Structure 1
Amino acid sequence: MAVLDDLKTLTPSQRSAIWASYLGWTLDAFDFFLMVFMVSAIAHEFGTDVKTVTEAIFFTLVARPFGAFFFGLLADRFGRRPVLMIVILLFSVFSIASGFAPSLFALFVIRAAFGFAMGGEWGIGASLVMESIPPKLRGSVSGLLQSGYPSGYFIASLVYFLLFDLIGWRGMFMVGVAPAILVFLIRMHVEESPVFAERAKKARSNPFAELARHWKMALYLVVLMTAFNFLSHGTQDLYPTFLREQHKFDTHTIGLLAAVMNIGAIIGGIGFGIWSERIGRKRAIIVAAVLALPVIPLWAFTATPLLLGLGAFLMQIAVQGAWGVVPVHLNELSPAAVRGMFPGFAYQLGNLIASRNGPLQAGIAQANHGNYGLAMALVAGVTVVVLIGWTAFGPERRNVDFVAEAKSEALA
């Protein structure tokens, strides 16, 4: 209730910034996760196997850090708001183009271009919000923002459930035009970050010099985000393939189980984001990650839809519970001069390192007679242990006043 009371004190522009960033990440994830539902169908059309098609996911993930760096630099130079609009328009266009791919190679190229645009959204949207709201609300809003990712997966699962059998995989990508509508909301209702406005009053820092100056923090965050991305992609990307190929479930069952999984993810992200204001960012991440370990057997090795759905629901409460703290944690640890670029770049570099997850898990499954459950369990178990250890020894910087920080720098 206290959180709701605090949210009511926000200005209309602050609330619009939160919704715009949340919906941007939701629709970005929606376009990304359309692909994971269609791996088998694309493999069938182009006469290849699942492992080969998962390379499209790999190329998307590889391109994301380049987009995060490029668009992040633009956001630090020209503002968060205009660059966010450009990014959303671009990834919408490339999602639609995916439906027109004449060959598997063309699809790989288009999905890489989509990943480049997608890479810019998270960091810019998160910095816009975190720089616009009071420090005491950052944890709560962080959980909401990050829940946009499973929200997008949830919407993709519903679209798959309702439309895939009618419109096929090409038609599914056409639905990706929806995010472009969000640009009008941003254009009409969202103001620029007050921190960026303050920083614009002083000479701009050299972003490369800032990266060199803070290389230890950058290295720490890249390793942290590598673990985080192995955890999320390792528990999500091949889940529909696991249900279809290993358990032979039909379209509706797969869509339903994926929806249940993402309801758990939304609950976990919001819940642990709010809790991080009380127990701290690091503790919230560690507690959520620990909860994933006992769920792995239920999630990966049971056979009935009921038990698999329960396992997926609980697993994603833990996985996205840890992730719910990421937007605020990365922004608080980021150097102020490059906050538009730094968090998203660190996040997406971790994505780059973890980008072989799809082919890796598919390869493990193929080597074990199609046992995707074993592949997912191995990646999840190892990653959770690494994430807990790395987080425990890392830094934390809570409730910094970003606006006051920018003003003091402007006067220096």
Structure 2
Amino acid sequence: MNSADLGRRVGVPSTALFTDQYELTMVQAALKAGTASRRSVFEAFTRRLPEGRRYGVVAGTGRVLDAVENFHFDDEMIGFLRQQRIVDEPTLQWLADYRFSGDIWGYPEGEVYFPGSPVLRVEGSFAECVLLETVILSILNHDSAIAAAASRMSAAAGGRRLIEMGARRTHELSAVASARAAYVGGFDATSDLAAGFRYRIPTVGTSAHAFTLLHDTERDAFRAQVDSLGRGTTLLVDTYDVAEAVRAAVEIAGPELGAVRIDSGDLLLVAHRVRQQLDELGATGTKIVVTSDLDEYAIASLAAAPVDAYGVGTQLVTGSGHPTCSMVYKLVARAGSAEPDARLVPVAKKSLGAKASKGGRKWAARRVDEHGVAEAEVVGTGAVPEELAGRELLVELVRGGEVMAREPLEAARERHVAARAGLPLSAMQLSRGEPVIGTEYA
């Protein structure tokens, strides 16, 4: 299937084949064994943060809710599974009627998380919950990685405007998800129109070097752009000679010129020179936008530069070196039988080394100090201690198969600002380090 076909598939209301084959073969075996209907609890979490990261960012929750709601097998899909002999006829009949009817709790989108945090808890029958594993992890691992990188860049930017412009550096569908996650993590706009259309994220964009090269002179290009887009546009000034371009830009657009963009060279030095030149030409209100392979470290290095906005592409959509969060989806409790009132039994993988997990249906709360600053992520299985009551992190997302917690993307974005502000100041450091708070098990 080519990318265009995949794009059309994503447009239809089913996410059921965004999964691994073994999810379906497990359902077949469980149906045959009589264990498929056992009440089960799965949790998505990560055992560790990416190396050097001090906190994670939950992103993609809204997309997970869409994926769960739209997870069903249509006739064409059932026909494909039958033709490929993926599962047997009784299983195909079960899949044809599938709709998730369980409950989902999780950290709200934009919240921060740490190793062991039960970011998402899915409850229902074993069969209906296990089917969701791959699509849930696909979304959370990707979107949370992008949001974490965006958050670090946002912290480094110190309030300056951030523009996501990585669509050409990743898969076309990933680009849309990346723009959404970046917005949650603190970016202000995207260049990707599909993201703007689907999620109403502010979009920006003016011209590339090709537009300047198209014209006989740089002045002709600037004049054409200003005539078309107005004096408030952003002119790209590093195609030839930056100083000459800035002079021409102000002469053509006047001091009302919106901004100039610098895409190459020693950005710190060039930004200072351009700011001085703009001011001398009377364009004191003209802003400076810088691009060119930026990441959080490059952004931090420009803190002293007269820069008003940063455009970030490759490093953002690849998670700034960490394109996944390594989240897993594990069965942590299951009923002792298929009876509706059967007691839940904690279960856990007993692997050697770092892959062991902790059983039991978990809650999580964040303990804070006397100043309201987070000091520990507390995860437990029984009753929530009285001193942590009201500080629980998981919220109800789905009840009986019905989505309960849809919210505007702005809410997740604002939540992240508040969550990050509640962490110790060392969370903002870009140097490698351990998680900014530890995880305690109660």
**TM-score where L is the length of structure 2:** 0.25
Larger Rg: 2
**TM-score where L is the length of structure 1:** 0.26
The higher relative CO (CA closer than 8 Å, separation ≥ 6) is in 1
Greater percentage in strand: 2
